[in-house]
Amino acid sequence: MASLYWYRLMASLSKINVSLLLFVIFFFSTHDSTMVEAKYRTSSKNLTNKVSALIVFGDSYFDTGNNNDFFSIAKSNHKPYGIDFPFQIPTGRFSNGVNLADIIASYLGVTEFVPAYLDKTKDLQTLMAGVNFASAGSGYDQLSGQQSNAILIQKQFEYFKEYKTKLELSMGQIGTQLHLENAVFLINYGTNDIVTTYFYGHRKKQFTIEGYLQFLLQNAMNFFQGLFDLGARRIVVAGLLPTGCTPVLGRSNSVLKKPCLLNLYSNLSSDFNKKLQDGINSMQLEFLKYNGIIVYADLFLPMSDITQNPMKYGYEFTDIACCGLGFTDVGLFCNFLSKICTDRSQFVYFDNFHPTQKTYQILFNAIRGVIDLMIPT
């Protein structure tokens, strides 16, 4: 029955309208480590363990495999994902190789690849240096995770509390407090909320778009405060990419000859980023009182520059994904049957929503200064 369902669904893709297509593909939306594309890896900051760990929360842009072992329509633990990861293993990262969280962890010198919290092969000792709670499909809005059967933001928070309890049993309360104070917390949600949940769920009936953005902001602020209350003192909140420039959303607007940076989704991403910045700034004083810091990392601006000036970064394709080469391939639809590009360095996006490893490296280079602010003095 399931196979028949997928066959019929895939066979009908060419007939359904663009709006429904966006909803479907988004939700159906890892050689020795030295062999990972060396030119896209970042040398460690050589911090002599000033940073104790990288602790990650978010959606598919940061997920490193938390969705692998339960039913979810947002999975990437299958080929061709991970084609440039060590041993070409598809780990659950929505990338041809590593993602931004891995690059940041490597730079901070805590771990080469951030393990998923739900990875049963990783013990607490491994998770002490880096742990990832992110789940593809989740968002600041709980409803986003429910629609794709992802790990909800609140559940990610509960998993963190569970993780903290394990640390306390191993390191003691004071040891855990010091460990968390010197850990960097990395957060990114919002894309699922704006691209799918608002327009294809019940939220549009409950909120105006402005009201919904404010709703997301309040949820975000509550989440940041919750982490602070549990001991987080160094938080990096990554803003949204120009979502309207992803291959599938950008192409859907190309008929109107409207630049992707000016379409609805990119505008909403920009609007939310501004609110997020203001909200983060309002929390700075409380963090400073406890020798902490919370900062906003702008991904929108560097990705916009990549989109507008691809040749500057050595790209040829900005509106076509490597996986699918023009077809609507992402998540389950980006699979062993998909056409795959041979030179990933020429593509901004690996699938129709997620950047290539090279693009993640460029984005990291753009926010490196922000990451440096997280390093304890």
329 is catalytic: no
Instruction: Give the count of beta carbons closer than 10 Å to the beta carbon of residue 332.
Output: 20
Tell me how far apart the alpha carbons of residues 222 and 216 are, in angstroms, rounded to a whole number: 10
**Coarse DSSP helix, strand, coil percentages of the chain, rounded to the nearest 5 percent:** 50, 10, 40
Q: Which amino acid is at 35?
A: M
- Is residue 354 part of the annotated active site? The answer reads yes
Q: Which of 142, 97, 71 is nearest to 332 (CA)?
A: 71
On whether the CB atoms of residues 264 and 246 are closer than 8 A, the answer is no
- Could you confirm whether 69 is annotated as catalytic? no
Backbone phi, psi, residue 349, to 5°: -115, 140
Q: CA angle 294-297-303, nearest 5°?
A: 170
Cα–Cα distance, 216 to 221 (Å, whole number): 9
Helices marked H in the chain: 2-11, 18-27, 100-108, 124-129, 142-148, 153-181, 191-192, 198-200, 203-206, 209-229, 247-254, 264-289, 300-308, 357-372
- Catalytic residue, from 29, 52, 60, 148: name it: 60
3-state secondary structure (DSSP) of residue 168:
helix
Tell me the two tokens of residue 272: 């939310």
- Spatial CA neighbour of 163 closest among 112, 225, 69, 227: 227
Residue positions annotated with a catalytic role? 60, 351, 354
